[in-house]
Amino acid sequence: MFTNHPFLSVVIPSYNEMSNVSRGVLDAVVAYLKQQDYTWEVILSDDGSSDGTLEKLQAFAHDNINVRVLANPHGGKGPTVQSGILEATGEWRLFTDFDQSTPLSQIERLLPFTSDFPIVIGSREIAGSVRGEEPWYRHVMGKGFNFFVQILAIPGIFDTQCGFKLFSAAAAEKLFKNMVVYRRQERPDAFTGAFDVEILYLARKHSFGIKEVAISWEHFDTNRVSPLKDSFRMLRDILSVRLTDLQGKYSAS
């Protein structure tokens, strides 16, 4: 049964993930969690999948008591993660990519820092990290994007885009409720984008400490990245975050 406040909530966003479902990634997630000595829940937050993914997730949840599914309208990764994080009840709330490019077991690298930091994030760009081979253009995009992040938004954070981030309940509630650029009603084009930058920018604004921790990451092919188009859109969104702040649209409390 669900406890009122499990120690860990694992939020996994999905959009047309049939190939990953077939790889058994969810079975691996639950198998890992069952081996742990803390209480947990898994929130599968679906982004309006059209390929049968939602039905597969619902069947999986039916067979696994600590797993539940959120069916969201298609709106992009940011609001889909947001709905999952805010639905979660855990003392700590992790969001992780469906393809498990960073395996859930890597949380063992993050948990030791929770006594000192309310936000602990996985990084592929600092000493000790292991980054699998990826197409050259993805690597160039990442380096270029981080250059602008350092200048315009969050200096000192070297990998904002790794989809493996852990938040205390208090930090999660404050930051994800305060999203503006990536809240669902303002993101009809369903772009994955730089919502992580908005969250981490807000964390700095509200003086939440952030610890960046080296993790292991493996590249899985995807057809959802358009190198040139996405690079410009992500730069646009960094600027949107700064403009939103200058306009006083982020809550000060």
* pLDDT recorded at residue 232: 80
Question: CA–CA separation, 49 vs 51, rounded Å?
Answer: 6
What was the pLDDT predicted at 217? 87
Give the pLDDT confidence score for residue 2 in this predicted structure: 43
CA distances for 242 relative to 47, 153, 198, 235, 248, angstroms: 27, 7, 9, 11, 10
Which residue has tokens 């305060």?
Answer: 178
The confidence score (pLDDT) of residue 3 equals: 47
Comparing CA positions, the residue from 86, 92, 98 lying closest to residue 54 is 98
pTM of the model: 0.92
Burial of 23 (0-12, 13-18, 19+ CB in 10 A): middle
- The CATH T-level fold of domain 8-246 is Spore Coat Polysaccharide Biosynthesis Protein SpsA; Chain A (3.90.550)
Q: What pLDDT is stored for residue 186 in this prediction?
A: 45
The pair of three-digit structure tokens given for residue 172, joined into one six-digit string: 């999660």
**pLDDT for position 222:** 60
Q: How far apart are CA 89 and CA 43, in angstroms?
A: 10
Q: What is the mean pLDDT of each run of 10 residues along the chain (253 residues)?
A: 78 96 96 98 96 98 97 92 97 97 97 98 89 66 81 92 96 96 63 84 97 89 61 85 94 74
pLDDT at 1: 38
Q: Decide if 138 contacts 219 (C-beta within 8 A).
A: yes
Q: What is the rounded CA–CA span in Å between residue 107 and residue 96?
A: 10
